[in-house]
Every structure is written in C-alpha cells, then in structure tokens.
Amino acid sequence: MTSTTERTATRAEYCVIACAEAWRDAGEILASPMGTVPAVAARLAKLTFSPDLLLTDGEALLIGDVPAVGAASAVTEGWLPYRRHLTMVMGGRRHVMMGASQIDRFGNQNISCIGDWERPKRQLLGVRGAPVNTLNNPVSYWIPRHSTRVFVAKVDMISGVGHDSAAAAGPAATRFHDLRRVVSDLGVFDFATPDRAMRLVSLHPGVTVDQVREATGFELVLPDDVPATREPTREELRLIRDVVDPSGLRDREVRA
Amino acid sequence: MTGALDKRMTPDEIVGRLRSGMTLGIGGWGSRRKPMALVRALLRSDVTDLTLVSYGGPDVGLLAQAGRIRKLITAFTTLDSIPLEPHFRAARERGAFELVELDEAMFMQGLTAGAQRLPFLPIRAGLGSDVLRVNPQLRTVTSPYEDGEELVAVPALRMDAALVHMNRADRSGNGQYLGPDPYFDDLFCEAADTAYVSCERVVESAALTEHAAPQTMLISRHSVTGVAETPKGAHFTSCVPDYGRDEPFQKAYATAAADPDAWDAFRTRFLAGDERAYHLAVQTWHKEQR
C-alpha cells in the first residue's frame, strides 16, 4: 500500500516528468537543477532511468543519496566547492537546467536585467554563470509561468547564449554549445529545426496549441500533430509524491 | 613563538590603511563568509570612490547604499536566500556606479591571472553573450596552436587591497577556513598588493591543525598584511561551522533596504555605532522577535 491513491497526475507532476526527461540516459554527469520542479525532476531521474547522475547539496558537496527536496543528505560522495564547480562546467560533464526571465526564439536567455543595461528598468540577477554554462555544457531551461513577458522576440541582455548568437561568435562558441530543451508549465520545446528555432515538442495534458501560441511572443515552429507530454508511471508518481517531494513544494511553483 | 610576526590590527586600523580611489577586493561569495565587520568599519570611515571587486552580497549593497562605489566589478550581487540585493538593485536602477559585469568563471580567471601576475587568461565563456557588448574593453585572443580557437582574454583582476574573513588565523596571518567551501579568498589575497584577514578567533599556529586537516589552511601569511580578530565578524552572512546565516536578520535588512524611511531607521539602530554596539543591537533585536 502506498499513499498514491490519486492516479491523475497534476500539472506540476507533468512538468516534473518533462524536466526529468532532460537527464534521461545522461550517464555519469552532474545534474544541476535550478528551481524546485527541476530539483524534484533530477532526483526522480536518478531514482529511475539515470542512476549514475551526480547531485549536489546545492552548496559544496556531492551527495551519495537522494533525499527529499529540502531535506538534508546523509551521504557525501565528493567535494565540489565553487572553484571546482566552475572547472567542472568548463570540462562539460554537467547538464544544467536554468531559469529565464526572458528567452527568445533561438534560445538566447536573460537573467541579468530588464531594459537598457546601462541603466536598467529592473535589475535582476546579473549574468551569473549563464555565459560559461551555455558555451561549455548541455543546458535546458525551466519556465514555471509561460507568458509573452518571458518568451520574447528579443532578450534585453544575452546571458545564456542562443543558437544564432553562438553561430555569429564562431567555432569556439559553437564547439560545445548544446541547448537541449525548454520546459514550461504549458509544454516542452526544443530547437530541432533547420535554423535552430524553437519548436513545440509536446503539450501537457489540458493545454491547447492556441494557449501556447498566445503566451509566446514569437512564432513557434508547430508540428502538424503535437503529442501530449507522456504520462508518469505509477512508480514515478509514488516517488514524486512519497519520496522526493512529500510536502508538495512543486505545487508552489506551478499554477494548478 | 620567537620571531613570529605579529600582524594583529583592529578593524579601524585596517581601514585606516585604505585610501579613497583604491581598487578593493572583498572575499566570500554572495551572503557567505563576507568580512562584514571590516565592511562596517569601512562604512564608519570616509574612504570612498572605490573600485570594488566582489562576488557580491550585502558588502556590495551596504557600500553602494553609502555611495562609496565608483565602479563595481562583479558577476552578481545576491543575498542567496533572497535572490536580489535591494541596495544593489536600487543603485543600478539609478545608475549610481559604473559596472563591469562578468560571468562567474570569467571572474575566477581574472582573479587567477591577477594572482599569477599574468595580463590575462583565456576562457570560452563570454563569447556570443552580451558580456562582450556591455564591456567593450574586453578583447579576444587567438590560440597559436592548430585549433586556432578565438577565446576571450579576461584581463587580470589586480587589487590595491583585499578584505577576507576566515574561521581562524594566527597572528602572522595564516588563515584557516573550516566550512565546506574556500570560495576564492586565497586568490583575492594573492591578487592584491595588501591583504587583510579578519577571523572569528586568533589562535596559536600549533592550534590551527590540532583538530583540522592541513588543507584547511587556505591563506598563507606571505600574502597577508594584517589580521583582525572579529568574533561574529561575518554576521549576518554565514560563517559555517561557527554559525550559519542569520536569516531573520537578513530578511529585516532586505525589507528595510527596500524602503528609504525604513532604511534610515535600520541604519540608526544598527550601523550608527561601533562593532560592539552593532552586535548588542542585533542581540536586542533577536530578543524582541521571540
């Protein structure tokens, strides 16, 4: 018996599944999730289809167990202070899922500021590690509220490098540039198109193509038939609800 | 110990050696192990017009609010559990200082080049991003080898002075961290012409490795000019394992920082006196919160 009596997955749980898929068969690399849903997803992936993933405690330790999000780890399997973390990024054995205040059609991302950089309307985080991440290791994005404010025609400050910007910067920029997927509360997107423009891959159940189109500030590539994001298995639902996120933190990040 | 150099100073003596217009590095990371007692001493002084080099936290926020920064070199400024530093944000939105915004790894390369007396170090990061657009002074360098790759040449970050906070130090300036992350404090000291270490406790050299492994000895005295014992000197940032971040107080700081009137009251209550008065005021505040 488990407490998993409710069989219907919630929107947040589809988001978890869609984010976890980013790390499927990733092998022995570091999963760096930013945000709650990606954190739940990375742990789910490690407990199911990607057991060799490395995880951190969010600070300087590699953890050898898979505690619930927000809970303390009991096993340390390595040391990853910031300077070693940055070296690992540049070595490429990492797949990060970052947030985005803005993202455009070719995957340029902004977390730095809104408006003119010289004197921003809204100062945000600064570029942080987005430039080094995007040029060196696989990168995906998680956007909990899909809207035209986030999915914009042009970002105000390129923090994470998109396909057009990398191509313009030359071979040293494109050599390890690898944008994998964008997951929002509405669906899954990638860049598997001839000109590397963003494409709709799947819709979370209950979401329509029109809804996505209205919430996106640029023209998405739309396949003729858009599949639904896959269903979680019963075991995945049990792991999400009872093991990785028993207090339901995922629901605070995603609108029902 | 015969012959051991005694570099002990008070925070005010350390700040007394700083000059307006200097390039000043501040160690730690975000809201983690920042030399806050030295920053508070700096706020009590009239040193200003600084070029500040920092993985920014409330050190940047406080100095920005006080109008001491002419130019800031950073990759971010954050309070960690509160993602945006309100004073930094407000200062940026009113165009209060010149900003050199670098990627986190570019910043590390700059410190490393500074410590190694190199003019620059190459890095892939920055290419294709607006870091190059907003920093037109940044140049690229082409590999002389077969790959011919064109990479960013991060200029050395050299500083006139660096301020860092350690868990322990001896009187000669050997500094020890006991938490999980050294951050970049050794590089800050080595990339600066003078470096000042504040610490929770000054102990005899022999005591440093009595209960800790020698690799906790992050900073070597040859790169240190002065040492100050400042118990709770990183407050309200974290100084693990001596103490964690004072989250309730940081929250009060951030709330006050977001509103000019509330900030005046906060400054009067906590920052108008000396370091001892600060800690007493914080203690009283905590009692009131219960």
* CATH number of the domain where residue B201 is located: 3.40.1080.10
B243-252 LR contacts (CB < 8 Å, sep 24+):
B245/B31, B245/B32, B245/B80, B245/B81, B246/B282, B247/B81, B248/B286, B248/B289, B249/B282, B249/B285, B249/B286, B250/B31, B250/B58, B250/B79, B250/B81, B250/B82, B251/B82, B252/B285
According to the model, what pLDDT value does residue B3 have? 63
Question: CB B89: neighbour CB atoms within 10 A?
Answer: 20
What's the gap in Å between the CA of B248 and the closest CA on chain A?
A: 18
Q: Which of A120, A129, A166 sits opposite B104 (nearest CB)?
A: A129
B208 pLDDT above the threshold of 80: yes
Handedness of CA B211, B212, B218, B223 (dihedral sign): positive
Q: Which of A60, A119, A172 sits opposite B127 (nearest CB)?
A: A172
| ipTM score | 0.95
Q: Which residues of A touch B78 (CB under 8 A)?
A: 125
Structural domain range at position B65: 11-119+156-245
Element (H, E) at A112: none
pLDDT in tens, chain A (256 residues): 444 445 699 999 999 999 999 999 999 999 999 999 999 999 999 999 999 999 999 999 999 999 999 999 999 999 999 999 999 999 999 999 999 999 999 999 999 999 999 999 999 999 999 999 999 999 999 999 999 999 999 999 999 999 999 999 999 999 999 999 999 999 999 999 999 999 999 999 999 999 999 999 999 999 999 999 999 999 999 999 999 999 999 999 998 7
What's the gap in Å between the CA of A134 and the closest CA on chain B?
A: 8
CATH topology of domain A9-244: Glutaconate Coenzyme A-transferase (3.40.1080)
Residue count of chain A: 256
The domain tally of chain B equals: 1
Q: Which residues of B touch A81 (CB under 8 A)?
A: 180-183
Q: Specify if B241 maps to a domain.
A: yes
- Tens of pLDDT along B227-274? 999 999 999 999 999 999 999 999 999 999 999 999 999 999 999 999
Q: How many CA atoms does the CB half-sphere of B109 hold within 13 Å?
A: 22
Q: Tell me the CA distances in angstroms from A149 to A146, A156, A210, A217, B14, one per residue in order.
A: 8, 12, 17, 8, 48
Structure tokens at A61: 């330790």
Structure tokens at B153: 């040449």
Q: Specify if B237 maps to a domain.
A: yes
Q: How many CA atoms does the CB half-sphere of B139 hold within 13 Å?
A: 7
What is the DSSP code (8-state) at residue B151? E
Integer Cα distance of A179 and A160 in angstroms: 10
Element (H, E) at A254: none
Q: Which residues of A touch B104 (CB under 8 A)?
A: 82, 86, 128-129, 132
- Tens of pLDDT along A158-186? 999 999 999 999 999 999 999 999 999 99
Find all residues with CB under 8 Å of A183, minimum gap 6, and list them: A15, A18, A19, A22, A97, A140, A141, A142, A143, A189
Given a contact cutoff of 8 angstroms between Cβ atoms, the answer to whether A203 and A229 are in contact is: yes
What is the DSSP code (8-state) at residue B219? E
Structure tokens at B240: 């693990």
Q: Specify if B192 maps to a domain.
A: yes
Q: Specify if B223 maps to a domain.
A: yes
What residue segments make up the domains of chain A, in order of their start? 9-244
Q: Which residues of B touch A123 (CB under 8 A)?
A: 84, 88-89, 92-93
Residue count of chain B: 290
Which site among B76, B84, B93, B104 would you substitute to test the A interface, given the most A Cβ atoms closer than 10 Å to its Cβ? B104
Given a contact cutoff of 8 angstroms between Cβ atoms, the answer to whether B177 and B27 are in contact is: no
Q: Specify if B29 maps to a domain.
A: yes
Within A126-184, residue ranges assigned H as helices are 130-136, 163-169, 171-174
What is the DSSP code (8-state) at residue A199? E
